[in-house]
Amino acid sequence: MLNLIEAATFLSLLVSTLYLYWQLRRTRLNLQEQQQQSEQLNHLAYYDELTQIPNQTYFKKHLQHVIARTERSKNEFALFYIDLDNFKPFNDEYGHRMGDQVLKVAAEAVVQSLREVDFPARFSSDEFVAVLEGTSDRDLLERVAQRLIDNIYRATQGVDGDYEISASIGISLYPQQSESVNELIDIADHAMYSAKQRGKSGYVFA
């Protein structure tokens, strides 16, 4: 009789242990699924679906952090506003599929033209932005701007079509021109339009 009781007790403990293990495993899997879902939602919120680089929301959030960090360090940075020349007529004539291809290769060219510490983003349909921290040196920024223009032009030539896609760039500087997120963006945007008015495929300092 005692052996039967011991066996029943052992089986009961075994079942309880297995059930607890199963519950813990299910909880761990649920937590992993929740974490994966959270990461996916975060990616959707902060990254551009087409180009897979940061979007406007993430860029503005990052820029706010850069301003705070740069203010403490008494340093400087530059903001580039990049617009693709002739993209609209290209997209209208050849359609969104080819237009999307242009945007993807242009985004890759932007990323490859910058340092790893720089922060590029897709700001709107055919516009990109970038923050270059730690410098306002005009010679350096001019070289970066020209490299962006050259690389974007070369990259987009690989896409079929009769339009030459180039880039016009406006550059604003912190803290010389503003210490506000929106103002720095607007100033660089206006400088970019000045570059377009001068014949496109160029850059203008605000």
The larger pLDDT score, comparing residue 42 to residue 62, is at 62
What confidence category does residue 162 fall into, taking pLDDT thresholds of 50, 70 and 90? confident
Cα–Cα distance, 73 to 149 (Å, whole number): 31
Write the pLDDT tens digit of every residue in 132-159: 999 989 999 999 999 999 999 999 998 8
Q: With a cut of 80, say whether residue 22 has pLDDT above it.
A: no
Cα–Cα distance, 153 to 144 (Å, whole number): 14
What confidence category does residue 160 fall into, taking pLDDT thresholds of 50, 70 and 90? confident
Cα–Cα distance, 125 to 100 (Å, whole number): 10
**Amino acid at the residue 73:** S
Query: Looking at residue 163, what DSSP letter applies?
Result: S
Q: What pLDDT sits at residue 2?
A: 45
Question: What is the residue-averaged pLDDT of the chain?
Answer: 90
Cα–Cα distance, 100 to 60 (Å, whole number): 23
* Contact predicate 62/119, CB 8 Å: yes
Q: With a cut of 50, say whether residue 195 has pLDDT above it.
A: yes
Q: With a cut of 50, say whether residue 4 has pLDDT above it.
A: yes
* Contact predicate 189/177, CB 8 Å: no
Average pLDDT of the residues in 51-57: 97
For the chain, how many helices (H) and strands (E)?
Answer: 6, 5
Least confident of 6-20, 126-140, 153-167, 170-184: 6-20
What confidence category does residue 29 fall into, taking pLDDT thresholds of 50, 70 and 90? low
